[in-house]
Each structure stands twice: as structure tokens, then as C-alpha cells.
Amino acid sequence: MKHLNKYSLMACLVFATILVSSCYKKFDPDSYAPPLNIGGFTSSKDIAPGNLVGYWAFDGNYVDSVSGNLGTNTGTTFTKGIKGQCMQGAKDSYVLFDPGTSITEMNSFTITYWVNSPVNEDGIVGLVNLSNTNNFWGNIDMFFENGSTADAAKFRGHITNGSGPEHWIVKDGLPAIFNNWVALAISYDDASHTFKFYVNGSPITNDVDAGFGSLSFANSGPLVFGTVQFQTTPSLTSATDSQPWASFLVGTLDEVRIYNKALSDNEVNSLVKLEGRGK
């Protein structure tokens, strides 16, 4: 009888141990890690959400997530991007989007995006642009300039203020731009008349143009992703048709965002780091 009680007690202890262990989850060290925080933000969605007026993730569609409107595709496809999918360009390919007044009537702005492009050997390569239906150049132009090399990219940003002054952002000799995912951004602050150009979240230029005045776009046409305004078919501007020294983005484009304010350096840097981590 004593042996029976002893064995019964042991069996009960084993059963109790199994029962208690099953009540506890396996220890997960990740659950105790502090949440990701970069520059005071935990997600790209946290950065100036009230100022975001256009966002194209290219996750299998050409929809602007802010307005819900769909762009018009000519020849581009989708592939793996910096976050989810992205736009895959090709020769003679581009995407057009009709912007609303939240974009065409901006006084200040920031445009950010990721691009992975080979060296532009066939002409300038338009990236993200806001067309002007009457001018040779658009209201906003961003492109890789002719003469770029594998180790020294040439970037151009061009902003037209109505029918008045123009401002050019000119940066040559940029290393490690081609055949890599790089984050590019330009901004304009209307109050200080300051233009900035960023590469991978770091400010590269800081131009004050006091004579530029208060920003006001004129004759705004579609946004163009993947080329410049006069390379589309038909040309988006009455000022010119296609040019032999201009070409198309045959690389990839992702995470295009437009804000109606000049983001701070911390906001741009945080956005790039968060997007690079898939946040």
C-alpha cells in the first residue's frame, strides 16, 4: 500500500508539472525588445500624415493611396521593391497620374522616392515629374543627367515658379547611385525660399533662392513617373516633342511620396530609415 501511494504521488507530481508547463508560453526574447523608434517615429505612416498629399507604393497597382485614384500605365510592370513591390520601368514606358489641387496648388513641398537604375547611357532619365503643358520643362523635373558614370552620377532638379523664375538643383559626382536602391528627395520651403536635395536621408544641397518668390505652379498637367514630360506619346507639352538626348527609366521606382510642406531633416532621415526596414 505504501508503494502504491508512493507511485501515485510521483504520477501526480509529473502530471502537475506537465499541466503547469502547458499554461506558460515559450519564452520569446523578441517580445521583450523595445519597439523600433527612429527619430521619434515607429513607422513611415507616422511622418507628417496630415501633409501627405500623394503616395504610390506600386504594390501591384498604380493607385495613389491618398486620393484613391488610379494612374495610367504605359509599358511598366511590377517586381520586388524596397517595400513590397515596385514599378519596373522599360524603354518607352512610364506612368501618368492626374494630380488634384492638393498637389498642383502646393506652396511648399517634399517629394521622396527610392530608385534603382543602371547608368543612363541612352539619354537623361526622368524620375518623378510634374508636367507643364506650355513649357519645355515641367513645373517639377527630376532626372539623371547625360554624362553620368558608374561612379559619378549627375542629378538635376528643376522647379518652375508659374511663368516666372526657375530654380535648378545641380549635383554632379554622386557616388554609389547606380545599380543600388537609393532614396532621393527634394524639398522647397516657401517661407525661407530654401531648396534641399537629399540622398539616402542626408541633405546634399541647401540652396536659398530669395528671388524665387512664393511658389505657384502654372499649366499643370499629369505627374510623370519614369521619364520627362516631352518623352511621352503624345508629348505632354505643346512646347516640344520627344528629344534624342532623353530616355526612360529602365530600372525600378518605389515608395513615391509627396508632402505639401518641407519636411525637416529628421523627418526625411527617419522616413528613409523606416522604409529601408520595411516599416
- pLDDT > 60? residue 29: no
Per-residue pLDDT at 180 exceeds 80: yes
Higher pLDDT, 11 or 72: 72
Which overall architecture, per CATH, does domain 31-276 show? Sandwich (2.60)
**Mean per-residue pLDDT for 165-174?**
96
What are the tens digits of pLDDT across the range 224-259?
999 999 999 999 999 999 999 999 999 999 999 999
Q: Answer with the residue of higher pLDDT: 20 or 219.
A: 219
Task: Please state the rounded mean pLDDT for residues 189-210.
Answer: 96
As a whole number of angstroms, the distance between CA 111 and CA 47 comes to 13
pLDDT score of 20? 45
pLDDT digits (tens, 9 = 90+) for 209-224: 999 988 999 999 999 9
Q: Quick one: pLDDT at residue 32? A: 56
- Residues of the chain above pLDDT 70, percent: 88
**Region 78-107: what's the mean pLDDT?**
97
What average pLDDT does the structure give for the chain? Answer: 91
- Lowest mean pLDDT segment, chosen from 21-30, 32-41, 93-102: 21-30
Give the pLDDT of residue 6: 56
Reported as a pLDDT band with limits 50, 70 and 90, residue 267 is: very high
How does residue 34 score in pLDDT terms, banded at 50, 70 and 90? Answer: low
pLDDT value at 77 more than 70: yes
